[in-house]
């Protein structure tokens, strides 16, 4: 007889007790990615600030957001340095 995998047990656990989400990545100040400690299901914050499943499409959006955010942050820092210098 085949034994069930740990993944299906985790999924069953999550179905009963709910997912145990942990922040796995900070994309921007407002957008985060979450991973369930139990079954590794991933969520992200969408444009409406609601949580949604992290699909490959959202992964793509998030990586774009991340690079825009990083660029903006570095530009902001440069601006701040310029102001302090002047």
Chain residues binding Zn ion by CB under 5 A are 14, 19, 36, 38-39, 41
In whole angstroms, the minimum distance from the beta carbon of 55 to Zn ion comes to 16
Q: Among residues 51 and 83, whose Cβ is nearest to Zn ion?
A: 51
Q: Among residues 31 and 38, whose Cβ is nearest to Zn ion?
A: 38
User: Which residues are CB-neighbours of 37 under 8 A, at least 6 positions away?
Assistant: 20, 21, 22
Q: Among residues 28 and 42, whose Cβ is nearest to Zn ion?
A: 42
Residues 67/70/72/74 CA torsion (nearest 10 deg):
-140
Q: From start to end of 1-81, where are the E strands?
A: 21-26, 32-36, 42-45, 51-53
In whole angstroms, the minimum distance from the beta carbon of 45 to Zn ion comes to 18
């Amino acid at each position: 007889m085949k034994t069930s995998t740990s993944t299906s047990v985790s999924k069953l656990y999550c179905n009963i007790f709910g997912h145990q989400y942990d922040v796995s990545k900070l994309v921007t100040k407002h957008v985060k990615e979450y991973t369930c400690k139990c079954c590794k299901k991933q969520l992200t914050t969408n444009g409406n600030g609601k949580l949604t499943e992290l699909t490959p499409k959202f992964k793509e959006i998030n990586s774009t957001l991340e690079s825009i955010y990083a660029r903006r942050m570095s530009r902001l820092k440069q601006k701040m340095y310029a102001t302090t210098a002047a």
